[in-house]
Structure 1
């Protein structure tokens, strides 16, 4: 049995397949970002899902693609945790961009591949190897056009009294925006980046308002200029996207890319389904 995992900071999609690619089970756990979780927290999240804990000794291979796995230190840490938990499995840990690449880019083709979800990322795939020009410093300093970035904008807009009154009423009904609750989630509870990203659904729901359009455009432009345009050939190869932000803001994304003469490629909400075909073909 092979376990294929695509993990962001908020959630992780799991698919178990046999050697022929037949799906044995699918499940979803909380995200497993090693940058923000301890070993004990990761194991607790694995134990919390019956399908994972019940089948952990049956797995022969684990292919994990995850946010926070961009450095050797984090890859090695997570590999050690998984090898201890999945005792019979050969473990391979990749940064989440590789899942996006394998799901969106035909074999041996060149493309720029972006992730716009809870966090954000952008890499160039030359058909064989992934190249990254911007080393992420995490959600506080970077993550342009991500869910957590939009959450930050919405909270600031609300607290600085710049959110229109009608939107503010809806915002208050949908979220607990009491100062103590917000500060507890931001500064005391784990995964503040995922907490901020929960507000992004409000922005998407009200994306046609002038207030939300302003932030959407600002962040899209920032992502294009700070990430995509790092690559000199960005106008010569397709630019693929995965993630809920890219998926639900596809029209707005395409407008901005067209303004820069950049060709939009495939846009997927989540790459996990595309990974099945890849791993069957490369078993």
Structure 2
């Protein structure tokens, strides 16, 4: 059987399927497994603490892992070591989350496209039908990640404290979240995964996206992302679409289309959860081995 894994910084979905692509159970969820921000022991604990997942550890013949933080070699090797310790007899392949986005959004295997991720974090690559190309290396949530969940969470918190948020939304925001300064600072500076914490606030933006304030916030964030990330491929954009993966892009696609029309690029597919498309991809690939 096959385990297909789609991991962000916030959560990690594991899909057990047989060699025909039939699901053997519902998706199994663990905490996010980002090896760029988590130590090996924490990665190990997050996997081992899920009893349902451990029931498959000796049954899996193949494990395909796609994750945030797997784009550079050192964290990727650390994660591989942890996975090999647990899934000892399993063939393991690890790819950065961008490849999950590519394989789940493109219309056919050799389609060229610019592919964006907009979930807890954000990124953008060009897929030429065979290989990924990145011209800007992401430096993560504290410096980049425009139009991501953590970016919008950060903007919402700042606007709340600067009192730029409309009063009616400010009251609702305060009711939904603990906005005590000490609580926020504790989660940002003394707890693991501050990026995931910031991203939890983005739900409020999605729920209120029809308001003028949220519309302007979403558009402003996406314009920054498009300018800095998508437009690095301005020559390729003349002939290829831009596909999107991740919950933030899925729920703000009308805003994205608005900006795309203004900036002159073609929007393609939107996929909320890449993992479903990855099942078809890997089952077909194994049948052709």
- Band of TM-score, shorter chain: over 0.9
Provide the rounded CA distance (Å) in 1 between the counterparts of 2:22 and 2:217: 43
What is the match of residue 20 of structure 1?
A: 20
Provide the rounded CA distance (Å) in 2 between the counterparts of 1:61 and 1:79: 13
| Deviation of the 1:204 alpha carbon | 1.1
Provide the rounded CA distance (Å) in 1 between the counterparts of 2:140 and 2:126: 19
Matches within 5 A, 1:86-97: 86-97=87-98
TM-score by length of structure 1 reads: 0.98
Provide the rounded CA distance (Å) in 2 between the counterparts of 1:277 and 1:11: 22
Instruction: Tell me if the contact between 2:215 and 2:255 (Cα under 8 Å) persists in the aligned partners.
Output: no
Matches within 5 A, 1:1-283: 1-25=1-25, 26-105=27-106, 106-231=108-233, 232-283=235-286
Provide the rounded CA distance (Å) in 2 between the counterparts of 1:53 and 1:178: 39
CA deviations on 1:175-220 (whole Å, 9 max, x unpaired) are: 0111111001000000000000000010111112222222211111
Which SS does the other structure have where 1:6 is aligned?
A: strand
Which SS does the other structure have where 2:24 is aligned?
A: strand
Which SS does the other structure have where 1:194 is aligned?
A: helix
Provide the rounded CA distance (Å) in 1 between the counterparts of 2:204 and 2:267: 25
| Deviation of the 1:90 alpha carbon | 1.3
CA deviations on 1:243-268 (whole Å, 9 max, x unpaired) are: 01000001010111111121111101
Which SS does the other structure have where 1:23 is aligned?
A: coil
| Deviation of the 1:36 alpha carbon | 1.4
Which sits farther off after the overlay, 161-170 or 195-204?
Answer: 161-170
Instruction: Tell me if the contact between 2:98 and 2:123 (Cα under 8 Å) persists in the aligned partners.
Output: yes
Provide the rounded CA distance (Å) in 1 between the counterparts of 2:205 and 2:94: 33
Which sits farther off after the overlay, 13-22 or 127-136?
Answer: 13-22
Provide the rounded CA distance (Å) in 2 between the counterparts of 1:37 and 1:125: 28
Which SS does the other structure have where 2:236 is aligned?
A: coil
Which SS does the other structure have where 2:237 is aligned?
A: coil
Which SS does the other structure have where 1:220 is aligned?
A: helix
| Deviation of the 1:153 alpha carbon | 0.3
CA deviations on 1:91-150 (whole Å, 9 max, x unpaired) are: 111000001111111111100110000000100000010111110111001001000000
Gaps of 5+ in 2: none
CA deviations on 1:156-177 (whole Å, 9 max, x unpaired) are: 0011111121111101110011
Gaps of 5+ in 1: none
Aligned length: 283
Which SS does the other structure have where 1:189 is aligned?
A: coil
